[in-house]
Structure 1
């Protein structure tokens, strides 16, 4: 009994599709071949970068789960924060999956949920979603009351220092979020 044919993060249903019975999954769990990371969700620890383990686990249950806010800033190199929880967005009105540790859930409007949403392959046959640097900065300005002034402005300064980034691309994303657009426009006027 081997976990090699399983994706890096999987559910019991995924294991059953691949011909494994529940007792075989539990045997792999007790032998240390896999880890339980959520209710009915398992992880092959050697098969995935630990930085993406929480997101991959949630994605096994909620394919629309998307890395956002501080966690996305760190991934894009726009923050040096060391987050205790992974920030994960789901569409507003969707039930949050229970049993996951170290996940900070965020509900984003369905109408704008896919704006700036990108896919990243983190292992063979495993793709997760993350918001683009531009969308993440806009979200930080949109939620500045929760994320903090220093986080939003620090990320914007780092992003502007990078070669090839265009304020117009950032404003194109911000156009979907009018309250953030005005805040971001003022910040750009000061920094540029």
Structure 2
């Protein structure tokens, strides 16, 4: 689709705004920034923008995204925290390939409606939700992920859903690839109320 001459200023303004916002924008944020939806569609049709998910656009010129699924989730569901197997994969302490993005949300919060990527939603208590959260920059987007120690405690808490083989492999890889922090592991085990379950496995790794 050729760029309409009458829209050139709107295109230029929109592209500049999207670049200033890190190269990724939601339709709602675009409208708030003064970009007409029609301009987004024209930029999409011209190849200037690509669609990451419904209502989420990204500048094509920025090249490939290192982790498009996490970027999309962080953009569409900013309150979500990457957890469990997805967090294990982020920290490189699992051989599992997540088939959905695992996210933690507060109990009672609305379930996100996302066409892609698929989500596995876990509900955390207020105390467990806020502990151990790290913020990482992925392609200019802030992504909240639980730290390795909190992730392991969460995995023990949800061991019946994940399977102990995944949990124990993660603990083994954590010891091999990360600085083993027994104090933090115990602290998060207490937060997640799995200290009695975790202690024998932690002591066996010492």
- Smaller-chain TM-score range? 0.7 to 0.9
Residue aligned with 2:175, SS: helix
Residue of structure 2 aligned with 1:111, choices 127, 136, 139: 127
Corresponding position of 1:183: 197
> Whole-Å Cα distance in 1 between the matches of residues 121 and 104 of structure 2?
6
Cα shift at 1:188 = 1.4
Cα 1:183/1:8, change in 2 over 3 Å: farther
C-alpha contact 1:42 1:57 (8 A) present in aligned 2: no
Residue of structure 1 aligned with 2:92, choices 74, 77, 81: 77
Q: What is the aligned-residue RMSD (CA, Å)?
A: 2.2
Corresponding position of 2:74: 59
Structure 2 gap segments, 5+ residues each: 1-10
C-alpha contact 2:47 2:60 (8 A) present in aligned 1: no
User: What does 1:82-93 correspond to in 2, within 5 Å?
Assistant: 82-93=97-108
Cα 1:118/1:18, change in 2 over 3 Å: same
Cα 1:49/1:109, change in 2 over 3 Å: farther
Cα shift at 1:149 = 0.5
Corresponding position of 1:140: 155
1:75-105: CA deviation from partner (whole Å, max 9, x where unpaired): 1110121222221222221112213322222
Corresponding position of 1:29: 44
Cα shift at 1:19 = 2.6
Cα shift at 1:48 = 7.5
> Whole-Å Cα distance in 2 between the matches of residues 24 and 77 of structure 1?
40
* TM-score calculated relative to the size of structure 2: 0.81
Cα 1:60/1:142, change in 2 over 3 Å: same
Between structure 1 and structure 2, the one with the greater Rg is 2
> Whole-Å Cα distance in 1 between the matches of residues 104 and 148 of structure 2?
15
> Whole-Å Cα distance in 1 between the matches of residues 107 and 28 of structure 2?
26
Residue aligned with 1:5, SS: helix
> Whole-Å Cα distance in 2 between the matches of residues 72 and 167 of structure 1?
19
Cα 1:49/1:90, change in 2 over 3 Å: farther
When the two structures are aligned, how many residues end up with a matched partner? 190
C-alpha contact 1:8 1:43 (8 A) present in aligned 2: yes
Cα shift at 1:163 = 5.6
> Whole-Å Cα distance in 1 between the matches of residues 152 and 196 of structure 2?
13
